[in-house]
Amino acid sequence: MHSNTGFSAKTLRAAAATAALILGFAGVAQAEESGVSKHYVLPATPENVQWGWYDVNEKPKLTVKSGDTVSIETLSHSLGQIKPGVGMDEIVKLRKGNPGGGPHSITGPIYVEGAEPGDTLEIHILKIVPKADAFNFNIPGKDFPTVGQLASEFPEGFVRYYKLDLAKMQTQFKPGIVIDLKPFPGTFAVGVDPNEPDAKAGPPIKDAKGRTSTLRPWKNGSNMDVNELQAGSILYMPVFQKGGLIWTGDSHCRQGNGEVNLTALECSYKEIEIKPIVRKDLKTEWPWAETKTDWVFMGFDEDLNQAMKIAVDQTVNWLSRQTIVPMSREESYALTSIVGDCRVSQVVDIRKGVHCLIPKSVFVNYKPGAR
């Protein structure tokens, strides 16, 4: 229904979001209210974005209730300092200038009222609106011999910038090659797991201040690089800290499974709109997700075989507990082998990732929203 002013609710919400960004509100802009739920905007101001580290002592930038929605703005790597015209020398300098931390710019944290350790956050990704610039690079193998799957073969590094056609949701890789955009958050996290194990490879997980690097994916999500997490998907995250504490960044506009040269089509978002729901009735140990077509189960470990084992185990566990069509653990293992599609999420984040998809279509009587 349209008001007699000629403006739709969608238009008004967009205008409110723009006003919040211009004024630099620290996440207190309310754009709409429907029933008891509210909509908020969290702009990527210097106060709201951190570079490469999660700090559970960071003051929440926004407090919301379960079921509220939030439009989050993000920045590209290194607080937006990697942009057209920046060469490889400067990219290397930025990478070395934040030792141990990830390159990611993360907006947050968002505190969700009622979320307690042991709960699950059901996070709906409602909408993603990219900004117009993107890039991809691999850093020099001569300086970073273990970063990237073929680092030794590319000693000098390479960067290319792209202008995105947001009307067509495409970009030109080079004349004759056009890439369709499929944006998703490369990094989506809740507050860190206090029992996260020590690093088996790479720099320490925590710095002297007790902050946790964004480099690695783990049970709290973080640098998952699972390209299924596009608009319309739902992410289920175990809660480790009071309030949940949600961050997102490392925004991608397209990525192949593996992310083999180090980066995706890295971009930033005018808006990624989410709706977090506190689930007291649902327990989960690792992140998992669902899309319109599949359930998606994840595993992360420095050893790719172990990451695969975790992802398969999570898949079998879920199948053996779901009630759409009850089945034994043996049947769950068999179904995973028959229809499961296990993919390498990434091999470049120290902890490698695997995600296994189970198609909803094999459950002939499944109705969306059923559990």
Q: What is the pLDDT of residues 102-127, one digit of tens each?
A: 999 999 999 999 999 999 999 999 99
Q: Where are the alpha helices (DSSP H) in the chain?
A: 9-23, 77-80, 88-96, 304-321, 329-339
pTM: 0.90
Is 368 a member of any domain?
Answer: no
Q: Does residue 303 sit within a domain?
A: yes
Residue 147 lies inside a defined structural domain of this protein = yes
Instruction: Please state, in angstroms and rounded to a whole number, the distance separating the CA atoms of residues 326 and 304.
Output: 31
CA atoms of 87 and 144, how far apart (whole Å): 17
The answer to the question of residue 1 being in a domain is no
Q: Which residues of the chain have pLDDT under 50?
A: 1-34
DSSP code string of 82-115: --TT--HHHHHHHHHTSTTS-S-EEEEEEEETT-
Nearest alpha-carbon partner for 227 in 168, 181, 192, 261: 181
Residue 261 corresponds to which tokens in the numbers above?
């040269």
Cβ neighbours of residue 245 closer than 8 Å, sequence gap 6 or more = 56, 60, 108, 109, 110, 111, 190, 191
Are residues 315 and 180 located together in one domain of the fold? no
Question: Which of 278, 283, 282, 295 minimizes the C-alpha distance to 355?
Answer: 295
Pull the structure tokens for residue 165.
Answer: 């056609």
Q: What would you report as the CA-atom Rg of the chain, rounded to the nearest whole angstrom?
A: 20
* Residue 13 CB contacts under 8 Å (≥ 6 apart), including other chains: 31, 32, 39
In a domain, 348, yes or no: yes
Q: 265 and 189, same structural domain?
A: yes
Asked if 212 contacts 205 with a C-beta cutoff of 8 angstroms, the reply is yes
Between CA 21 and CA 25 the distance in angstroms is 7
pLDDT at res. 217: 98
Angle at 355 between CA 351 and CA 358, to 5 degrees: 165
Do 67 and 174 belong to one domain? yes
Residues 180 and 329 in one domain: no
The full DSSP string for 204-259 is: -SB-TTS-EESSSEETTEES---TT--TT-EEEEE--STTEEEEEEEEEEE--TB-
Both structure tokens of 105:
């710019």
Q: Could you list the residue range(s) of the whole structural domain that residue 341 is in?
A: 294-362
Of 255, 287, 319, which residue is a domain's last? 287
pLDDT value of residue 35:
58
One domain for residues 201 and 322: no
- CATH number of the domain at 326, please: 3.10.28.20
What integer pLDDT is reported at residue 24 of this predicted model?
39
